[in-house]
Amino acid sequence: MRDDQDASRSIYDGSFFRIGQFRRGPKHSNFTGPHVAGSALIVFPRTSVTITHAGKKPVVADPNVVMFYNDRQVYSRGRLSEKGDLCDWFGFKSELIAQAVQPFDEYVSDHPQQPFQFPSGPSDPRTYLMQRSIVDTIVNKGVRDELFIEESVLTILKHVIYNSYHQQGVSPHSTRTATEKEVTDGVQKMLSIYFRNDLSLEQIARHFGYSAFHLCRIFRKHTGQTIHQYLKQIRLRTSLEYVTQANTDLTTLAMELGFSSHSHFTEAFRKTFGAPPSQLRNVSRQQMHQLLSKISIA
């Protein structure tokens, strides 16, 4: 990267969030600022700089830290790395951030446009790897599995919020309601009926009158799986009805079951059942019976 390079680009525009990359060379004429955040952001640094939010003390923003910016946040930047400022960002509506923060801050409704009350938090290895994987997948492979990306981004948001408040010694309040199991059952029923469709998290959440963030939390609490994982398992187990038939075209089957490509279907199938779908056509009837019995028991 050139010392004076300046580039910020959006790489994914979702229904309630955006993902982007920011690159600013260390000799750029306006490296330090001040700057103004264009939306509520969580930012994962790839290099080290100092970030100073207006009225706050400077923070060393390095790959071990996740940075928080409220919408219209004024901040300045200081040089540390010889590469300048390289980072990946996730932009949200302030209301969604407030929903994520609410279990930890019951007064966030008093300041919904400024849900972040501190400028940074810890970035645990799992979350850092998850966000890097999402960004790299979008940039290098062009994968557009909308439901997977939506849930992954909300999981990242959940983790960084939890880690940040845990660091402050704050535990979440109980948010259990009497209707959570009913909503979970409803989502399961919807997925079971429309599993062939290209479903988005926003569509599902709107149908049940929940925010996407809370619906994901509720579903995972009651099933132990994300909505995307549950949907994928329905699709994969349904595929077992067809993969052993010699006249089944696996590419057509993959597309009919909602997979983005034949390779995506094959890899998901292999990870779940331990063998690619084409291999199951070569096993004996007895071996297939034994395999399906093990899968049913699992």
The pLDDT tens digits of the residues spanning 15-69 come to 889 999 999 988 888 899 899 998 999 999 999 999 999 999 999 999 999 999 9
Mean pLDDT confidence for 215-235? 91
Spatial contact of 11 and 34, defined as CB atoms under 8 Å apart: no
Of 12-26, 126-140, 225-239, 262-276, the least confident: 262-276
How far apart, in whole angstroms, are the C-alpha atoms of residue 157 and residue 247? 45
Residue bearing the bigger pLDDT, 192 or 241? 192
Q: How confident is the model at residue 281 (pLDDT cuts 50, 70, 90)?
A: low
Q: How confident is the model at residue 88 (pLDDT cuts 50, 70, 90)?
A: very high
Q: H-helix or E-strand containing 269?
A: helix 262-273
DSSP state of 38: S
Of 138-152, 157-171, 199-213, 280-294, the least confident: 280-294
Q: How confident is the model at residue 108 (pLDDT cuts 50, 70, 90)?
A: confident
Nearest alpha-carbon partner for 18 in 177, 182, 149, 198: 149
67-87 pLDDT per residue, tens: 999 999 999 999 999 999 999
Q: How confident is the model at residue 296 (pLDDT cuts 50, 70, 90)?
A: very low
Spatial contact of 102 and 95, defined as CB atoms under 8 Å apart: no
pLDDT value of residue 119 = 94
CATH architecture for residues 240-297: Orthogonal Bundle (1.10)
SS3 278: helix
Q: Is residue 297's pLDDT more than 50?
A: no
- Domain ranges in the chain are 6-167, 180-231, 240-297
Reply yes or no on domain 6-167 having CATH 2.60.120.810.
Answer: yes
Spatial contact of 75 and 35, defined as CB atoms under 8 Å apart: yes
Residues near 292 by beta carbon (within 8 Å), at least 6 away in sequence:
240
Range of 143-147, 244-248, 252-256 with top mean pLDDT: 252-256
142-164 pLDDT per residue, tens: 766 788 899 999 999 999 999 99
* C-alpha of 58 from chain center: 29
Mean pLDDT confidence for 175-183? 68
Of 63-77, 120-134, 159-173, 240-254, the least confident: 240-254
Spatial contact of 56 and 76, defined as CB atoms under 8 Å apart: no
Q: Cβ atoms within 10 A of the Cβ of 27, count?
A: 12
Mean pLDDT confidence for 210-233? 90
pLDDT value of residue 260 = 80
How far apart, in whole angstroms, are the C-alpha atoms of residue 145 and residue 226? 14
Q: How confident is the model at residue 4 (pLDDT cuts 50, 70, 90)?
A: low
Mean pLDDT confidence for 10-19? 91
Q: Is residue 287's pLDDT more than 80?
A: no
Average of per-residue pLDDT values in the chain: 86
Q: Do the two domains 180-231 and 240-297 of this chain adopt the same fold?
A: yes
How far apart, in whole angstroms, are the C-alpha atoms of residue 265 and residue 276? 9
Mean pLDDT confidence for 103-108? 87
pLDDT value of residue 298 = 38
Reply yes or no on domain 180-231 having CATH 1.20.950.
Answer: no
